[in-house]
Amino acid sequence: MVALFAVFISIGVKSYCLPRPIGQLSDYGNVLDRHGRERITSLIEETRERFGIDVYILASWEDPYGDPDRYAVTLLDGWNLAKGKTLLAVFLKTGKDWDVAILPGELTTVAYPQLAYKVKAGITHLVEHRRIEEAMVALFEVLQRQLSQGTQAGQSVSNRRGSRVLSVLLLLGSLGLVAFFIHRRVCPRCGRILRVRKIRAFDPYQGGDVVYYCQRCNYSRAKKGEG
């Protein structure tokens, strides 16, 4: 009975700890005015359209765990964001100070392994100075810069691969021409360049013969109909 009661208490605490998301921008901390909310919402939509990543933001004055990272992990799971191509930013106020936690979904981690770390590093100084709206805007600036670099790097790798393939094809083509020339014009006995002599046919409608011959070893080879 005691164990069952403890389970009910833990379920109740968990449900109490997790605020309901208000779309992708949950400003429970009243950080933004109407224009600020419109601006951040626009940046969220732009990031989704350009890069396919859904950004979720929570600003709150309540941290039931006293640990922003632990709270963010709970939210990532509780809001069903853990397995998607998502990024969760949690801004928490404790007293006069603010802290931030940035967590990626699994697909984001696979595509951009260091993204969350770099985004957090890029906005920490603004959070520490309690400039939260600026930090939210800067989050998207850092995020888009990192994602653009990743896209350019992928294109660069693709271009390098294409260049390597073209180089290999040109090399193979050159080797083929060299092999053809050696077969056609190099003496198989002594390696000297073969000379060419054309013999005209009596029939004007037929081509004459071409004789390839070597002056050193007297090797010769005739090709009909090439003259």
- What are the residue ranges spanned by the domains of the chain? 17-152, 183-223
Residue-wise pLDDT tens digits, 3-61: 433 443 344 444 456 899 999 999 999 999 999 999 999 999 999 999 999 999 999 99
| DSSP conformational letter for 123 | H
Cβ–Cβ under 8 Å, residues 87 and 121: no
Please give the mean pLDDT across all residues of the chain. 81
Angle (CA) 175 179 181, round 5°: 115
CA distances from 30 to 24, 33, 36, 73, 219 (A): 15, 8, 11, 22, 96
At 200, the pLDDT band (50, 70, 90 cuts) reads low
Give residue 213's pLDDT. Answer: 73
Flag the least confident range among 78-82, 178-182, 204-208, 219-223. Answer: 204-208
Residue 202 has pLDDT above 60, yes or no: no
Lookup: tokens for 6: 């403890």
Sheet of 209-213, strand order: 195-199, 209-213, 220-223
Cβ–Cβ under 8 Å, residues 21 and 79: yes
At 1, the pLDDT band (50, 70, 90 cuts) reads very low
Mean pLDDT of the region 197-212: 62
The separation between the first and the last C-alpha atoms of the chain, rounded to the nearest angstrom, is 106
C-alpha span between 95 and 59 (Å, rounded): 14
Residue-wise pLDDT tens digits, 125-138: 999 999 999 999 99
C-alpha span between 47 and 42 (Å, rounded): 9
Give residue 25's pLDDT. Answer: 97
Cβ–Cβ under 8 Å, residues 194 and 213: yes
Phi, psi of 18 (to 5 degrees): -95, 115
Amino acid at 34: R
The model's pTM is: 0.62
Lookup: tokens for 90: 């949690």
Please say whether the structural domain 17-152 has been given the CATH code 3.30.750.24.
no
Residue 173 has pLDDT above 60, yes or no: yes
Q: What is the DSSP string of 111-134?
A: H-TTHHHHHHHHHHHHHHTT-HHH
